[in-house]
Structure 1
Amino acid sequence: MAINNFIFDFGGVLLDWDPRYLYRKVFKTEEEMENFLQKICTSEWNSQMDAGKPFAEGVKELIAIHPEYAKEIQLYKDRWPEMISGPIDEGVSILEQVNASHKFKLFGLTNWSSETFPFAYNNYKFLEIFEGIVVSGEEKMKKPEKRIFHLLLERYHLNPEECIFIDDNQNNIDMANKLGIHGILCQDFAKVKEEILKLTGLKLK
């Protein structure tokens, strides 16, 4: 069956997001920063906001557990934009070339807090290319949950076999593949282009 749709993840594919960009300015040493991010403001904690928990609630709960880091925890929300260094040029180039071919519809599927996503959308104009975007924080569900993939497919009337999904997380790719979507793991952009060529015949620069 022909590919008619591309579904892009955002963080790690199109946008370079990492809390270290902020916290290197806050902590004096890499060791202190890594300890904070691995034991306090962890990726598991951040994923609660991706799944729809209000930032104020998540921050309040964490400060109650780690009051000695109250200031640093609060910065996670207050200075969140500093965690984005900018676009990932190779990923954006793929997006723009696919769009310029006029052969495919483009969709986004991202694990992102509904409170912070508007900053990204308003500051990175290439996100306006997408015909539709599903944001985990808005839907109160996140990848790799099966139901968020179903929501995207049903909302935009997509046949999974006609979709390519590009994501930098293997668990998300595995779930997409289980559902019949053609998952491409994004860890090497040259390999992503090779897979796109195999699946669509579209040769990208």
Structure 2
Amino acid sequence: MTEIRHIVFDIGKVLIHYDPNLPFSRIIPDEAERADFFARICTHDWNLEQDRGRSWDEAEALLVADFPDREHHIRAFRKHWAEMVPHAYDDSVAIMTGLIDAGRDVTMLTNFAADTFAEAKMMYPFLTLPRGVTVSGEIGLLKPDIAIYERHAQDFGLEPSATVFIDDSYANVEGARAAGWQAVHFTGAEKLKADLQALGVSL
């Protein structure tokens, strides 16, 4: 196995918590109605297009045209986005900052809208500590497309076989492996420590 020289972190649900139900449990208190809203209106796939680079104005306009009676709820998604990312995972952040302090080459690769990522950096300054980041919304590519891993490796001078990627989404882990990277599926900080140590990355 190739020695790991590059460590790449996902952000959402690895370094910071994300849950759109947090503000919407107040905005749409009824659990069944809220579940229906996320299933039919502000869906995962709709939100993912902002991660690909679509503007929030366009995204909101598309839904308001189809669901004019839900305009207030649709616009609340972006308006209350900061409430969806209420805290960092301190144990995961400690692993990342420890690797940086030890001189390891650490970067980040994330599916994130460009404007909300700028907001996240203000909320969580540790996101500025790695050598750099590839933000899907800034380049129009999404994980798990192989192209985004190739773009990240090219932009940051990474050797794919010497790179390990950490992501909570197994599909994104598989995408990294398809691009020739090593990758681990994140389920918690303790398992991440064990996975990295198994790859020869001391903590």
Matched residues, number: 202
Corresponding position: 1:24 with 2:28: no
Task: Report if aligned partners of 2:15, 2:89 keep a CA contact under 8 Å in 1.
Answer: yes
- Written as runs of structure 1 = structure 2, the 5 A alignment for 1:157-176 is 157-176=157-176
RMSD between superposed Cα atoms in Å? 1.1
SS of match in other structure, 1:6? strand
SS of match in other structure, 2:115? coil
Cα drift, residue 75 of structure 1: 0.8
- One-letter amino acid of the counterpart of residue 33, structure 2: E
- In the other structure, the counterpart of 1:116 is 116
Q: Deviations over 1:104-154 (max 9, x none)?
A: 111010000012110001221111111010000000111001111111000
- One-letter amino acid of the counterpart of residue 88, structure 2: P
Corresponding position: 1:97 with 2:98: yes
Task: Report if aligned partners of 2:146, 2:178 keep a CA contact under 8 Å in 1.
Answer: no
Q: Deviations over 1:40-92 (max 9, x none)?
A: 10111000100000010000001111111110001111221111111012211
2:92, 2:43 → 1: CA distance?
26
- One-letter amino acid of the counterpart of residue 100, structure 1: D
Cα drift, residue 201 of structure 1: 4.2
Q: Structure 2: which 5+ runs fail to align?
A: none
1:130, 1:23 → 2: CA distance?
32
Call closer, same or farther: CA 1:83–1:200 in 2, change over 3 Å: same
Between the aligned residues of both structures, percent identity stands at 29
- One-letter amino acid of the counterpart of residue 77, structure 2: Y
Task: Report if aligned partners of 2:4, 2:201 keep a CA contact under 8 Å in 1.
Answer: no
- In the other structure, the counterpart of 2:72 is 71
- One-letter amino acid of the counterpart of residue 157, structure 1: G
Corresponding position: 1:41 with 2:42: yes
1:99, 1:158 → 2: CA distance?
16
Q: Structure 1 stretches (4+) deviating beyond 2 angstroms?
A: none
SS of match in other structure, 2:113? coil
- In the other structure, the counterpart of 1:135 is 135
SS of match in other structure, 2:42? coil
Cα drift, residue 188 of structure 1: 3.1
Please, which moves more after superposition, 63-72 or 87-96?
Answer: 87-96
- Written as runs of structure 1 = structure 2, the 5 A alignment for 1:144-163 is 144-163=144-163
SS of match in other structure, 1:108? strand
- In the other structure, the counterpart of 1:182 is 182
Corresponding position: 1:11 with 2:12: yes
SS of match in other structure, 1:17? coil
1:86, 1:155 → 2: CA distance?
29
TM-score with structure 2 setting the length: 0.96
Q: Structure 1: which 5+ runs fail to align?
A: none
1:191, 1:80 → 2: CA distance?
29
SS of match in other structure, 2:187? coil
